[in-house]
Structure 1
């Protein structure tokens, strides 16, 4: 016996528990907590452009969630197979039941509930769209538009533009309440640290290597989601300094919700390393961290240069490498994060580490930088 999926429509805002503008990381984390209600979830993306691909979460059989390619924000929600009984679906708008196992949603019902709209095969309202085809898009004024009893096959909820129109499917999501207090941009400066900018805030937070303390992070960013004491010392073999003593064990502050880790010195309790994660689909750390929209800032051309050059997370490794050093890329080390995982097969499990003065890039075989380490 399947429990009924009872969801409400909020034009331009969301549907059920899903809010337009929510991050991919947040939505997938929520779906994990509600596996009893959403047991079958597929992640679909274009592996050829994995860094900037729009991502679709297909929640069988009723829901498709489309996320934007750059910021990985929920852009459009599609409800389909309204009459599929596994599980039964009840769709509401305010206090009105639009569709249920006993109620079929038809063209005339949409007009009665939402009023008149512009002519066309589909019925479109600001932030809301009713389609009479199972898949694809309608062709405007084609046959069937005058059939009052025509049954709705799909319902789509998307963000409204300022003029009330629906946004293009490939547009980024405009700032909205779901983004409040989320990290919007991380500006990286080698040998210095990172400046963090947040939605709904004009004040930036500057985290400096060797100066910002664990207490500063707690005050500025709140407590981390996890504190992890450093146990993996395999990279110490490449270090010229003496190994750490157990009394001075370093530890990580993991801010998964911002896509950032901070390595804190066990001796001085100041930031030693900053790790920024790109959250690329198909890589081992996908979905462990929210995408961090990082940009590496170079030196200004002169004292009057207010816009120093930057390279962004979706730029190819070759471009970023030349930006950091105009010479040939440095020797690299191979890393496979699935070595300790049995029965795990990923298209991009192996990465390479390239070390520069003050910064390390973790790069996939397709030249995508999946992580930046500042030290």
Structure 2
């Protein structure tokens, strides 16, 4: 015996447990915690694009569409109401559809109100659609087949537009500006009132991170030492001895890792994750919308050159090092993951002065940016 999927419609805001503007990472985490209620979930995307729209299909009733750049829940589609489990739909204090009911045009008009004539019943933030193969009709008993919830903005929202800023984003990173050899400036939602936080390499402490970002969800007490063989020879004058205990502060919900020096307890490295679909690190981190800021032309330059993760590895390479290709090496992240099969498990590490790019193959998409 299956219990009904009970959802309430909130035009311009959400449907059931799903809030428009939520991040892809947070929605997948939510679904992973409710596997009994949602046992079948598919993630669909274009593997050749770093800014592909992503659809989560929660069988059999829901399609959740996420925006390209910020990976935010843009549109919710509810359909196949009679499939198991059956759907119960509410609007405010009214039940529009139950297991033994049919949702009709007249039911929507009575509950939501009148609207303009057309092939669908369209309201601000929600519309109700009929069978696409049915002849257009104004029959009041015509059955509703699909409900779509999207944001208010006075007009239809384009599937390729970014989500408008909304309360569910509060506290998330809106923009991360990386400064080579210096650190990263984190800008948060709400963008009009939040103060940016500058994480400075060699100066920002663990306590500073905890005050500004809260305690990290995970602390990883062992650095991956496999890259040390490629490092320059260290001297006794180095401030941070490699033999000191170090740890990573993992902020999965922000898409950022910080390597903390065991000697000084300050930030030594910063890793910004792009959350590229199909890559080995997909869904471990929320997308951090980063960009690299260049050197201003003069002291009065208020808009220094910059390059965003969406512009691809080759353009970022030319921005960082225009004259020659950087040294690079392959990395297979599935070496430590038995039973994990991916279409393209190999990434490449491109080394620059103060920067490492992890680049997915094929597609030349930057999976992560490391500042040190």
What residue is the counterpart of 1:329 in the other structure?
A: 325
Q: Measure the CA separation in 2 of the matches of 1:191 and 1:73.
A: 31
Instruction: Decide which of 130, 133, 144 is 1:132's aligned counterpart.
Output: 130
CA change 1:133–1:48 in 2 (3 A) is farther
Equivalent of 2:277 in 275, 281, 295:
281
Q: Could you give the per-residue CA deviations for residues 69-124 of structure 1, whole angstroms, max 9, x where no partner exists?
A: 1000000000000111x212111111111112111101111111111111101110
Q: Distance in 1 between matches of 2:98 and 2:345?
A: 44
**Residue of structure 1 equivalent to 2:29:** 29
CA distance, structure 2, for counterparts of residue 108 and residue 283 of structure 1: 47
Q: Which residue of 2 aligns with 1:152?
A: 144
CA–CA separation in structure 2 for the residues paired with 1:304 and 1:267:
38
Task: Give the deviation of 1:231 after TM superposition.
Answer: 4.2
| Partner of residue 313, structure 1 | 309
Matched residue, 2:164: 174
Matched residues in 2 for 1:208 and 1:231: separation?
20
Structure 1 CA distance, aligned partners of 2:344 and 2:256?
A: 21
Which residue does 1:292 correspond to in 2? 288
Within the alignment, does 1:345 sit opposite 2:341 as a pair? Answer: yes
Distance of 2:223 and 2:22 partners within structure 1: 34
- CA shift, 1:143, in A, is 3.6
**Structure 1, unaligned runs of 5 or more:** none
Matching of residue 10 in structure 1 with residue 6 in structure 2:
no
CA contact (8 A) 1:185 1:292 kept: yes
1:61 CA drift (Å): 0.2
- Cα deviations across residues 277-318 of structure 1 (Å, max 9, x unaligned)? 000000011000000000100011122211001100111111
Runs of 5+ unmatched residues, structure 2: 236-240
Q: 1:329 to 1:133 in 2, by over 3 A?
A: farther
Cα distance in 2 between the residues matched to 1:61 and 1:87: 8
Q: 1:374 is matched with which residue?
A: 371
Contact 2:4 2:99 survives alignment (8 Å):
no
Contact 1:120 1:145 in 2 (8 A): no
Give 1:114's aligned residue: 112
> 2-side partners of 1:133 and 1:289: how far apart?
39
CA contact (8 A) 1:68 1:170 kept: yes
TM-score by length of 1: 0.94
**CA-atom RMSD in angstroms:** 1.3
- CA drift of 1:202 comes to 3.3
Helix, strand or coil for the counterpart of 2:30?
A: helix
Matched, 1:96 2:94: yes
Distance, in Å, in 2 between the alignment partners of 1:231 and 1:271 is: 14
Mapped partners of 2:312, 2:340: distance in 1? 26
Q: Distance between the aligned counterparts of 1:238 and 1:259, measured in 2?
A: 26
Moved runs in structure 1, 4+ residues, more than 6 A? none
- In structure 2, distance between residues paired with 1:296 and 1:99: 50
Partner of 1:189: 179
How many pairs align? Answer: 363
> Quick check: 1:261–1:274 contact (8 Å CA) kept in 2?
yes
Deviations for 1:344-375, whole angstroms, at most 9, x for unmatched residues? 22223110001100000000121111100000
CA contact (8 A) 1:144 1:150 kept: no
Q: Does 1:241 align with 2:234?
A: yes
**DSSP 3-state at the match of 2:31:** helix
Structure 2 equivalent of residue 44 of structure 1: 44
Distance 1:145 1:186 in 2: 51
Distance 1:123 1:372 in 2: 46
Answering whether residue 210 of structure 2 is matched by residue 218 of structure 1, we say: yes
